[in-house]
Structure 1
Amino acid sequence: MKYRLGMRTIKTALGATLAILVAQALGLKYALSAGIITVLSVQNTKQKSVEIAKLRLYSTVLALLLSGILFVTFGFHPVSFGLYLLLFIPLAVEFKLSDGIVMSSVLVTHVLGEGYIHWNLLVNELLLVAIGAGIALIFNLYMPKMVQQIKHDQATIEEQFRKVLFCLAKTIRSRSVTIDEEVLFQSLADQLELAKVRAEHNRQNYLYDEMTYYAQYMEMRLMQYQVLIGMRQLLGKLQMTLDQSILLADLTEHIASSLHEFNTTDELMVETTQVLHIFRNQSLPKTREEFENRAMLFQYLNDVKHLLEIKRQFVMNLTEEQLQKFKPEASCSLDEK
């Protein structure tokens, strides 16, 4: 079996070793526990590391306070420890400190083993937490950059969107589903899910809001993908080619050609509205079959409008900081394609 040494493994090993050495250098009792705390505290993202560090501290304070009261009241006995667990676990769950239950309880066993309560001992346990979680947090300040991979994901997704839209336009013209349509849709779905996970992981490695951009972008594309599915289903029901079909095919191809990360879709929305106006002012259908097909084309056009509105809202909702950071070459005008 091929063994792969990951970055988290390396950080965990180095961090645990350093935590033990620091705890020993400070003359703390149970210095080895600092290493275990580091192992438990190293996470995949910076935000998760900060969150875990806080939870560790809060749960330790609660555990030491509760166990101290119980041990002084009922004695330093295993029964007292059992009583502590009966009270501490529900409290930890109630205050959303579940991640600290095991670690805090290990620290409580130190107090139980010593057989006394003293400020020096309590400070010793808190320092173990501070060293273990603190070193894990410091090591987690370094995270591999994912931006280039995410940008590659964006380019791939946009190219796949173009292919899907061109495919739909071809289906409108020919009234026959292309042989690779299912492959195109599945490939786009798989890429979107993968990119969404990567973008969210990247977001959690930053502590400022503008880095939510890539996660927002992937969410926007996922919403558009759901609209595309509805458009595809409508085209599968078409039974005849109408004059309106050519208009929709041209519009779909124009959208595919104009697909761009920062396109606000304003011009495309105007074109879509014009096509909608043409639809409404044409003569009424003469047969039931024509009526049904025109109704489906009309719904398709509404879906196109929804597709564009999703993109427009995404761009309009970007903050000034996000526009400056992710569109440095632009004048930050939302009217620019």
Structure 2
Amino acid sequence: MTVSLRAIKIAFATTIAILIAQAFQLEYSVSAGVVAILSVLDTKKSSVTIAIQRVGSTVLALGIATILFQLLGFNTIVFGLYLLVYIPLAYKLNVEVGIAPCSVLVSHLLLEQSTSITWLTNELLLMVIGVGIAILFNWYMPSKEKQLVKLRGEIEEKMRHVLMNFSLVLKNGSSNEKGELLIKELSKDLKTAEKVAYMESNNQLLSQYDDYIIQYIDMRQQQAKILAEMSMDISVCSLPTKQNEILAQLFQRTADQLHESNPVLDLTEDIESLLTDFRMSDLPKTRAEFENRAALFVLLNDFTRFIQIKKDFYEQQKGE
């Protein structure tokens, strides 16, 4: 939710909550507006959850305050005692979000020197009106689908460039600085996409939200971690060997086929073929060749995990 949209929601929700409280002739009607300000949150689900917790917290606070004020009188010391009892209980019952607004409502009882049904109802209605109007205004949330589609495209494009850069490093011994930079950008994009996806999910209350995009982002995050590991090893593979060339071509093919609906069956076969070639090849004759072959083997194993993650994701979606 943008700052401007949030400001509009808060301004209207606060004003209307106060007007409704005044229409019901409630005392301290401005408190309903304050509750509305605190209850306009980033998602529908969080607004409803917090509203329920605050109403529950209000019942708890008013109950404790009523008992203490009736037994010990209406004074500041008793109000402090109320806080000592109420705050730990609020945390224990997971309704601590109501501590501040509920204590303001209890202060009204202290000021009025009364815990009559009329005053208790007054305070409870202030809370219900405030959170109710906030939920009403938070029911409109702009869809994040277009942003998620854009982020998915950017994520896949960066992964393609990382793989193509790996291919160039293996073929030409090029620097991998560009690949390292792309992996950092990829990580940031994935974190952004994850945040947006969960926000979109939390804005679906009445309709069933398809969590495919969340699973997709999780799959790409796993793959991105593997790319980061591969990036550390690929700079060692500097010799122009046959295996370098084959693995470079495999990275290029993967980059060309990197889209979410690809079952990667052909790539799995290519990896098996390359592993067989590794086993059948002559043993390295020099230390440099040995280090190059070992690094290539590690890269191939990591790349096998990279492809397997995508294959598992495809099979899971197909099964559903």
TM-score range normalised by the length of the shorter chain: over 0.9
Alpha-carbon distance between aligned partners in 2 of 1:63 and 1:140, rounded to the nearest angstrom: 26
Q: Deviations over 1:29-86 (max 9, x none)?
A: 2221111110010001112111111111111111111111111110111111010011
Which of 146, 160, 169 lines up with 2:158 in the alignment? Answer: 160
Which residue identity lines up with residue 84 of structure 2 in the other structure? L
Tell me whether 204-213 or 224-233 shows the greater mean CA deviation: 204-213
Return closer, same or farther for 1:317/1:68 CA change in 2, 3 Å cut-off.
Answer: farther
Which residue identity lines up with residue 199 of structure 2 in the other structure? H
Which of 8, 19, 31 lines up with 1:21 in the alignment? Answer: 19
For 1:225, the equivalent position in structure 2 comes to 224
User: Mind listing any 5+ residue stretches in structure 2 that lack a counterpart?
Assistant: none
Relative to the length of structure 2, the TM-score reads 0.92
For 1:68, the equivalent position in structure 2 comes to 66
Relative to the length of structure 1, the TM-score reads 0.88
Which residue identity lines up with residue 217 of structure 1 in the other structure? Y
Displacement of 1:198 in angstroms is: 2.3
Which residue identity lines up with residue 131 of structure 1 in the other structure? I
- Kept after mapping to 1: 8 A contact 2:13/2:137: yes
Tell me whether 241-250 or 205-214 shows the greater mean CA deviation: 205-214
Alpha-carbon distance between aligned partners in 1 of 2:128 and 2:8, rounded to the nearest angstrom: 21
For 2:298, the equivalent position in structure 1 comes to 299
1:113 aligns with 2:115: no
For 1:189, the equivalent position in structure 2 comes to 187
Displacement of 1:296 in angstroms is: 0.9
Q: Deviations over 1:178-227 (max 9, x none)?
A: 56334433332333333333223222222366343333322322221111
Secondary structure at 2:114's aligned position in 1?
Answer: coil
- Kept after mapping to 1: 8 A contact 2:180/2:231: no
1:133 aligns with 2:131: yes
Displacement of 1:245 in angstroms is: 1.0
Q: Deviations over 1:99-125 (max 9, x none)?
A: 110011011111222222222322222
Secondary structure at 1:205's aligned position in 2?
Answer: coil
Any residues of structure 2 matched to 1:274-289 within 5 Å, and which? Answer: 274-289=273-288
Which residue identity lines up with residue 164 of structure 1 in the other structure? V
For 1:321, the equivalent position in structure 2 comes to none
- Kept after mapping to 2: 8 A contact 1:167/1:181: yes
For 1:10, the equivalent position in structure 2 comes to 8
Alpha-carbon distance between aligned partners in 2 of 1:300 and 1:94, rounded to the nearest angstrom: 50
Tell me whether 61-70 or 25-34 shows the greater mean CA deviation: 25-34
Alpha-carbon distance between aligned partners in 1 of 2:11 and 2:238, rounded to the nearest angstrom: 65
Which residue identity lines up with residue 13 of structure 2 in the other structure? G
For 2:246, the equivalent position in structure 1 comes to 247
Which residue identity lines up with residue 29 of structure 1 in the other structure? E
- Kept after mapping to 1: 8 A contact 2:180/2:228: no
What is the root-mean-square deviation of aligned Cα atoms in Å? 2.1
Secondary structure at 2:209's aligned position in 1?
Answer: helix
Tell me whether 203-212 or 239-248 shows the greater mean CA deviation: 203-212
- Kept after mapping to 2: 8 A contact 1:203/1:214: no
Alpha-carbon distance between aligned partners in 2 of 1:239 and 1:168, rounded to the nearest angstrom: 12
